[in-house]
Amino acid sequence: MITLNINSKTTRVDAEPDTPLLWVLRDTVKLTGTKYGCGMALCGACTVHLDGQAVRSCITPVSAAAGKKIVTIESVGRRRVGKAVQDAWRRLDVVQCGYCQSGQIMSAVALLEKNRRPSDTDIDGAMGGNLCRCGTYVRIRAAIHEAAKALA
């Protein structure tokens, strides 16, 4: 059994230590907001926060997450930055299919937690690991600026 702290809740899971955190979250804990897209840290759909850092849960062994604070899309809105990002995403209707957006939001929140006034170049750097096949990048960029404004 591995003890995890997921969204401020202590959760004990029965999983092989090398199981990617993604599948523990999705299939064991049934927190399905975090998505599978590639399994190789290429698309960012599985992005969660580990002690405040954005990580790709599809290549993070669950054993590496033990003892750390795991935050997923389901709870990111409880904090000020997360709420501001979700609100901006909704005000601008960023989403299309929506499948990548959990990961996009988690990456955007991690960026804004560190940098409250990101430039376009900062955004390109922080969001470059998150693919969107619907091509919502124009609005993702706008929503990050919008959230930054709301947080100022």
Partner 1 sequence: MITTSIENASRRRFLQEAAGLTLAVYLPRALAAAEAGPGKGAGGEVVGAVHFEPNAFVRIGADNTVTVISKHIEMGQGAYTGLATIVAEELDAAWSQVRVEGAPADATLYNNLLMGSIQATGGSTAIANSWDQLRKAGASARAMLIAAAAKQWKISPDELSVSDGVVMHARSKRKASFGELAKAAAREPVPAEVRLKDPKDFKLIGKRAPRKDSADKTDGQAMFTQDVHLPDMLTAVVAHPPRFGGKVKSFDATKAKAIRGVVDVVQIPTGVAVLAKDTWSAKKGRDALQVEWDESKAFRLGSEEIFVKYHELAKSPGAIVRKDGDPDAAFANSARVLRAAYDFPYLAHAAMEPMNCVVRFGKDRCEIWNGEQFQTVDQMKVAALLGLKPEQVTIHMLYAGGSFGRRANPDSDYVLEAASIAKAIAGRSFGNRAVKLMWLREDDTKAGYYRPAFHHVLEAALDAQGRLAGWRHRLVGQSILAGTAFESMMKDGIDPLSVEGAANLPYAIPNLQVDLHTPKDIGVPVLSWRSVGSTHNAYSTETFLDEIAAVLSQDPVAYRLALLDKHSRHAGVLKLAAQKAGWGAPLGADANGDKRGRGVAVHEAFNTYVAQVAEVTVKSDGGVKVDRIVCAVDCGIAVNPDNVRSQVEGAVGFALSAALHGTITLKDGVVEQSNFHDYAPIRINEMPNVEVYIVPSTEKPTGIGEPGVPPVAPAVANAIAAATGKRVRNLPISAERLKA
Can you give the binding site for partner 1, defined by CB under 8 A? Answer: 16, 19-20, 23, 26-28, 30-40, 42-43, 45, 72-74, 77, 86, 89-90, 93-102, 105, 123-124, 127-141
| Beta strands 2-6; 69-71: pairing state | parallel
Shortest CB 113 distance to partner 1, Å: 17
Q: What are phi and psi of 22, to 5 degrees?
A: -50, -50
Closest CB to partner 1 among 62 and 113? 62
Shortest CB 100 distance to partner 1, Å: 5
- Identify which of 61, 107, 88 has the alpha carbon closest to the alpha carbon of residue 145: 88
Dihedral, CA of residue 129, residue 130, residue 135 and residue 137, to nearest 10: -80
Closest CB to partner 1 among 49 and 139? 139
Closest CB to partner 1 among 107 and 113? 107
What value, to the nearest 5°, has the Cα angle with vertex 101 and ends 86 and 126? 85
Shortest CB 52 distance to partner 1, Å: 19
Closest CB to partner 1 among 113 and 140? 140
Shortest CB 72 distance to partner 1, Å: 7
